[in-house]
């Protein structure tokens, strides 16, 4: 599955009209609606798989310009290609999305540090979070079992990268010496919803576990996405701490949202859960319905960037010095149409995420959905 909504650049709708900058996936072959059901489904899967290239390219752009550090991202740049420079609003959005999820993850791992923990990343794509967590020589590697699940083609490519890249090999070795383990599974998430779902190898159902979905579940039909979450809820005892963090688009019903949906549809990309979980409150309700009844939170990217809980004033000043951003209205539009939502059961998550207020705000009351 993909780890980013593809081609965010085409979603820029402001006073000057929509603009775009091409990327290597902009002209992905569309699924042929005249083929068999199997061929259509396979075509859609290929489109979803290819979107990871946009996520990787956006991450490389943000790293190259100093928004964040990631010494492993460059290994996913295809041989002979140059790093594509994204628009400032794309770089800033990538920064906020990454740092917000990093904060939720690191708070979890640092709570009760002597306790072994587990992370399961759905549709991880080219994400480098495990190595960023465990590869630093400045901080100790957390005691974590880290799983990534993705389509076989994506998993195969990633496995080749991490086996033959010295930075990945060194970081993995350092993590293993610290007791952490990394597992990459070639797995179609839809297989988890069958009557006889596979057991994910080496997944420890007794450990406090955090599920991550960065623009992954949104590609599945709502019922299928719910069934994927039910798989984990059923395999973990009710007393085992379990949580979910999602990064997804929201608000498809206003003018910008309709343009966003239309632009993605032009590339045969359909975000199947978008209308079901169209608002921040709908995302919180989703968490409650999925069994994360101890607490829920949701904030859009614009709110995250402006909140001291997530980005300090000094850090905002640093980020804003990196590039001149004259598209303030466009930034607000784009950032308000993506969100981070989280929900949990278990005291370890309550302690870890205390102080991160994600409750409903007064201005949300007028939202549809």
Report the pLDDT value the prediction gives residue 37, as an integer from 0 to 100.
65
> Residue 278: how many CA atoms within 13 Å on its side-chain side?
14
Tokens of 339: 């969100």
Whether 1 is in a domain gets the answer no
Residues 163-189: pLDDT tens digits?
999 999 999 999 999 999 999 999 999
Answer for the pair 250, 280: CB distance below 8 angstroms, yes or no.
yes
Expressed as residue numbers, the domain containing 156 is: 8-13+24-366
Report the pLDDT value the prediction gives residue 39, as an integer from 0 to 100.
63
Q: What share of the chain is helix, strand, coil (3-state, %, to 5)?
A: 45, 15, 40
The residues with which 300 forms a beta bridge, in sequence order, are 339
Residues 297-334: pLDDT tens digits?
999 999 999 999 999 999 999 999 999 999 899 999 99
Whether 210 is in a domain gets the answer yes
Tokens of 255: 């003018």
Report the pLDDT value the prediction gives residue 364, as an integer from 0 to 100.
84
What is the edge-to-edge ordering of all strands in the sheet holding 117-122?
A: 181-186, 144-150, 117-122, 209-214, 242-249, 338-345, 295-300
Residues 70-105: pLDDT tens digits?
999 999 998 888 999 999 999 999 999 999 999 999
The residues with which 119 forms a beta bridge, in sequence order, are 146, 210
Residue 33 has pLDDT above 60, yes or no: no
Residues 106-119: pLDDT tens digits?
999 999 999 999 99
Task: Report helix, strand or coil for 304.
Answer: helix
Residue 30 has pLDDT above 60, yes or no: no
Report the pLDDT value the prediction gives residue 135, as an integer from 0 to 100.
84
Residue 50 has pLDDT above 80, yes or no: no
Of the pLDDT bands very low, low, confident and very high (cuts 50, 70, 90), residue 15 is very low
Ordered DSSP codes for 184-217: EEE--GGGGGSSSPPPPTT--TTS-EEEEEES-G
Report the pLDDT value the prediction gives residue 362, as an integer from 0 to 100.
83
Report the pLDDT value the prediction gives residue 268, as an integer from 0 to 100.
87
Report the pLDDT value the prediction gives residue 127, as an integer from 0 to 100.
96
Of the pLDDT bands very low, low, confident and very high (cuts 50, 70, 90), residue 10 is very low
Task: Report helix, strand or coil for 50.
Answer: helix
Whether 297 is in a domain gets the answer yes
Number of domains in the chain: 1
Answer for the pair 99, 144: CB distance below 8 angstroms, yes or no.
no
Report the chain's C-alpha Rg in angstroms.
19
217 phi/psi in degrees, rounded to 5: -60, -25
Alpha helices in 111-248 (DSSP H): 129-134, 152-164, 166-177, 222-235
Whether 262 is in a domain gets the answer yes
Whether 2 is in a domain gets the answer no
Residue 250 has pLDDT above 50, yes or no: yes
Whether 19 is in a domain gets the answer no
Tell me the CATH number at 164. Answer: 3.40.50.150
Report the pLDDT value the prediction gives residue 139, as an integer from 0 to 100.
82
Report the pLDDT value the prediction gives residue 230, as an integer from 0 to 100.
97
Report the pLDDT value the prediction gives residue 54, as an integer from 0 to 100.
82
Report the pLDDT value the prediction gives residue 137, as an integer from 0 to 100.
77
* Cα–Cα distance, 262 to 140 (Å, whole number): 45
Answer for the pair 118, 203: CB distance below 8 angstroms, yes or no.
yes
Whether 18 is in a domain gets the answer no
Question: Please, what sign has the CA dihedral across residues 61, 63, 64, 67?
Answer: positive
Nearest by Cα to 49 from 269, 208, 198, 251: 269
Residue 350 has pLDDT above 90, yes or no: yes
Residues 128-157: pLDDT tens digits?
999 999 987 778 899 999 999 999 999 999
Whether 302 is in a domain gets the answer yes
- Is pTM beyond 0.85? Reply is yes
Tokens of 180: 């952490």
Contacts of 240 (CB under 8 A, 6+ apart): 205, 206, 207, 208, 209, 346
Report the pLDDT value the prediction gives residue 34, as an integer from 0 to 100.
62
Mean pLDDT (the chain, rounded): 88
pLDDT > 70 in the chain, percent: 86
Tokens of 310: 């997530």
Contacts 24+ apart (CB under 8 A), 128-131: 128/59, 128/70, 128/72, 128/73, 129/101, 129/102, 129/105, 130/175, 130/182, 131/72, 131/167, 131/168, 131/171, 131/172, 131/175
The residues with which 367 forms a beta bridge, in sequence order, are none
Structure letter (DSSP) for residue 126: T
């Amino acid at each position: 599955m993909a780890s980013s909504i593809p081609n965010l650049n085409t979603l820029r709708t402001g006073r000057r009209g929509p603009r775009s900058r091409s990327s290597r996936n902009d002209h992905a072959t569309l699924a042929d609606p005249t083929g068999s059901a199997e061929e259509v489904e396979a075509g859609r899967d290929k489109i979803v798989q290819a979107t990871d290239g946009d996520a990787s390219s956006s991450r490389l752009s943000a790293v190259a310009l100093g928004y964040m550090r990631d010494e492993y991202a460059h290994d996913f740049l295809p041989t002979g290609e140059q790093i594509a420079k994204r628009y400032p609003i794309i770089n800033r959005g990538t920064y906020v999305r990454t740092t917000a999820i990093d904060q939720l993850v690191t708070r979890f791992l640092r709570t009760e540090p002597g306790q072994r923990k587990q992370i399961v990343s759905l549709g991880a794509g080219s994400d480098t979070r495990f190595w960023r967590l465990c590869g630093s020589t400045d901080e100790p590697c957390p005691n974590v079992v880290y799983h990534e699940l993705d389509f076989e083609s994506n998993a195969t490519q990633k496995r080749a990268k991490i086996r033959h890249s010295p930075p990945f090999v060194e970081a993995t070795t350092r993590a293993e010496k610290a007791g952490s383990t990394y597992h990459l599974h070639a797995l179609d998430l839809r297989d988890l919803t069958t009557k006889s779902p596979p057991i994910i190898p080496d997944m420890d159902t007794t450990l406090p576990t955090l599920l991550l979905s960065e623009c992954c579940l949104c590609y599945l039909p709502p019922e299928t996405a719910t069934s994927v979450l039910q798989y984990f809820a059923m395999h973990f005892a009710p007393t085992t701490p379990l949580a979910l963090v999602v990064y997804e688009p929201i608000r498809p019903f206003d003018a910008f949202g309709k343009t966003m949906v239309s632009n993605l549809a032009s590339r045969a990309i359909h975000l199947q859960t978008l209308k079901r979980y169209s608002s921040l409150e709908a995302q919180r309700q989703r968490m409650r319905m999925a069994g994360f009844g101890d607490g829920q939170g949701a904030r859009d990217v614009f709110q995250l960037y402006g909140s001291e809980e997530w980005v300090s004033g000094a850090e905002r000043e640093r980020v804003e010095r990196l590039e001149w951003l004259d598209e303030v209205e466009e930034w607000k539009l784009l950032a308000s149409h993506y969100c981070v939502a989280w929900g949990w059961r278990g005291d370890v998550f309550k302690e870890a995420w205390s102080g991160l207020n994600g409750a409903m705000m007064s201005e949300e009351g007028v939202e549809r959905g």
